[in-house]
Amino acid sequence: MTLELINLLFLCIALAQALFAVTYVLVLKKKTETIMFFVAFLVAFISPTIDHIISSSDLIEKHPRFFYTPMGFYFFLIPFFYLYVKSLIQELNTKETVILLLPGLLEFFFMSVMFCLPESYSTNFRIANTTFFIIVYGVTLPIFAIILLSLSVHRVFIYRKKYLDFFSNTQKVNLKWLRYTSWLLIISYSFQLLTLFSFLNYETRDLIFLLDSILSLAFLYWISLYGIKQSHIPAEYQLFERSKVSTLSNENDFAKIKAVLIATKSFKNPNLTVVELAESVDLHPKKVSSAINTFSNKNFNQFINHYRIEEAKKLLVDPAYNNFTIESLAQESGFNSKSVFNTLFKAETGQTPTSFKDLQLT
């Protein structure tokens, strides 16, 4: 079996996998703006696969117009991904959305016109303007994609620093996987740029195309799995980010926060946010966040988890909880994940929960 046929096989598997993911999302997920961008991205991702399958057949030789099949959506792919990432975190700007999708719209219009023109004209245009297509799809497209993907990585990185001041549990809102996905796509587009170098022979180029197809298959599995599980960032976070209030706080505010937290044990709520804590102490959420950062030298996430660890330490040595499993104690303390509890407990105490318990009871 040749590299070309193996490459085609991987493309077909990727196509089937993407179609399954799109169907699953459309049928079982609530159709929000974010979900629709996710679906549009998956559709844009599988569209070039159909293009590659057509190119691998003899259809273009018999009917040259199929070179211009207006279903590649190459310039739609990464803008849809970027808009999906951004829509998870904040409201989209209509003007920015239109500008980002404009190259894809122009591509679709151009391909549709060329597809409908007489084959003799469209074929002659392709032959006479080979350099134009190389520059557009071989150079401009990868560079455009890499720039947008880099912006996606930056946006996720900035958001990750901010959400720790809002959420006490980050499992459902953690976008680290999207940062990895962006890097995976950057590698993929870098492969495309490599195929332009004249010193690469045809066998090496076929191997690079095969690696790109395998990468695409792995990517589809990755984003389908995590994209389906990903929750939308709560609207409260967006309001928190947009609010313009004085964040100056004092020690009295911090003392009040600690007193209410200890009295109500609200840290036992695994999904506690700074907004909910702020309501209980009658302060603005940004003021609560600022007080915690200033006087505890911790972000909100670290601050709340510290109280959860302290609660867990008490429960571990409390005879009334002797029959509780470590997972049950973790939930009782405000954690909704045993693995997160074990990691944070060891980071703070230097011991595992079991070791801590054994040491205290001996």
| Total-model pTM | 0.80
* 62 — pLDDT class (breaks 50, 70, 90): confident
Q: Answer whether residue 164 shows pLDDT above 80.
A: yes
Q: Answer whether residue 208 shows pLDDT above 90.
A: no
Q: Say how far apart CA 5 and CA 11 lie, in whole Å.
A: 10
- Read off the pLDDT of residues 215-247 as tens digits, 9 standing for 90 and up: 777 777 778 888 877 777 777 777 777 777 767
* Percentage of residues in the chain having pLDDT higher than 90: 30
Q: At what angle do helices 285-296 and 300-316 cross, to 10 degrees?
A: 70
Q: Answer whether residue 210 shows pLDDT above 70.
A: no
Q: What is the pLDDT of residue 258?
A: 93
Q: What is the pLDDT of residue 81?
A: 93
Q: What is the pLDDT of residue 201?
A: 55
Q: What is the pLDDT of residue 204?
A: 61
Span 3-237: which CATH code?
A: 1.20.1070
* Percentage of residues in the chain having pLDDT higher than 70: 89
Question: Residues of CATH 1.10.10.60 domain(s) within the chain?
Answer: 245-361
Q: What is the pLDDT of residue 2?
A: 66
Rounded average pLDDT over 122-135:
88
Q: What is the pLDDT of residue 254?
A: 92
Q: Which two tokens stand for residue 341?
A: 């509890």
- Read off the pLDDT of residues 307-360 as tens digits, 9 standing for 90 and up: 999 999 999 888 888 888 899 999 999 998 888 899 999 999 899 998 888 887
Of 159 and 52, more confident: 159
Q: Answer whether residue 39 shows pLDDT above 70.
A: yes
* 190 — pLDDT class (breaks 50, 70, 90): confident
* DSSP one-letter code for 64: G
Q: What is the pLDDT of residue 219?
A: 75
Q: Answer whether residue 267 shows pLDDT above 80.
A: yes
CATH 1.10.10.60 for the 245-361 domain, yes or no? yes
Look up residue 194 and give its amino acid. Answer: L
Q: Answer whether residue 118 shows pLDDT above 80.
A: yes
* 141 — pLDDT class (breaks 50, 70, 90): very high
Q: What is the pLDDT of residue 205?
A: 57
Q: What is the pLDDT of residue 261?
A: 92
Rounded average pLDDT over 178-192:
84
Q: Answer whether residue 151 shows pLDDT above 90.
A: yes
Q: Answer whether residue 75 shows pLDDT above 90.
A: yes
Q: What is the pLDDT of residue 301?
A: 93
Q: Answer whether residue 149 shows pLDDT above 90.
A: yes
Rounded average pLDDT over 5-25:
75
Question: Residues of CATH 1.20.1070 domain(s) within the chain?
Answer: 3-237
Q: Answer whether residue 21 shows pLDDT above 90.
A: no
CB 261 within 8 A of CB 307: yes
- Min mean pLDDT across 18-32, 100-114, 124-138, 305-319 is at 18-32
- Read off the pLDDT of residues 196-207 as tens digits, 9 standing for 90 and up: 654 455 556 566
* 361 — pLDDT class (breaks 50, 70, 90): low
